[in-house]
């Protein structure tokens, strides 16, 4: 325990955390809150577990996406360490529903997916792990079901994923 924190502080913290947990369980028991049973990674399991870029795009339904200039893709040209390569993606396409990020040469190319509620700003900032120099593609899905993409080649000097 850090010297700046007293036993009383720790006790209060534990009591608050226990109370929050009890309230959460009460909401679930009353039916006001349903526990999430299906994670995004499970309902998109084929896309997340694909081991090559083409299979990941196909499983995600994005193999026929078209490039679009209304997608802003900011990323470094050279990443000194592939363990954390930060990319910023913003969609200026109307009615954007999701953004998926693929790293072509990673052992599992689909790195992340994000879904947006109506009116939410479709923008993400994500630290990626990259095994090696690779093309990174952001795929945008709009409300009409169309898929668009922007991509960038990122040179990695020290890989961040084990193959």
State CA 120 to chain mean position distance.
16
Same domain, 59 and 77: yes
Q: Are residues 22 and 64 in the same domain?
A: no
| 109 and 132 housed in the same domain | yes
| Residue pLDDT, tens place only, 107-136 | 999 999 999 888 788 999 999 999 899 999
CA distance 12 to 24: 18
Give pLDDT tens digits for 72-82: 999 999 998 88
The answer to whether the predicted template modeling score (pTM) of the entire model surpasses 0.75 is: no
Structural domain count, the chain: 2
67 is a domain residue: yes
34-64 per-position pLDDT tens digit:
555 445 445 688 999 999 999 999 999 999 9
55 and 22 part of one domain: no
Domain extent for 108: 40-156
């Amino acid at each position: 325990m850090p010297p700046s924190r007293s036993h009383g502080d720790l006790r209060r913290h534990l009591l608050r955390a226990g109370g929050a947990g009890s309230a959460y369980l009460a909401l679930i028991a009353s039916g006001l809150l349903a526990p999430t049973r299906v994670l995004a990674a499970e309902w998109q399991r084929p896309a997340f577990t694909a081991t090559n870029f083409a299979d990941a795009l196909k499983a995600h339904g994005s193999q026929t996406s078209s490039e679009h200039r209304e997608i802003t893709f900011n990323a470094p040209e050279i990443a000194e360490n592939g363990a954390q390569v930060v990319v910023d993606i913003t969609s200026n396409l109307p009615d954007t529903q999701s953004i998926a990020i693929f790293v072509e040469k990673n052992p599992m190319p689909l790195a992340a997916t994000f879904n947006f509620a109506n009116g939410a700003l479709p923008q993400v900032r994500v630290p990626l792990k990259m095994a090696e120099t690779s093309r990174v593609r952001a795929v945008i899905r709009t409300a009409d079901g169309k898929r668009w993409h922007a991509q960038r080649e990122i040179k990695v000097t020290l890989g961040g994923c084990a193959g």
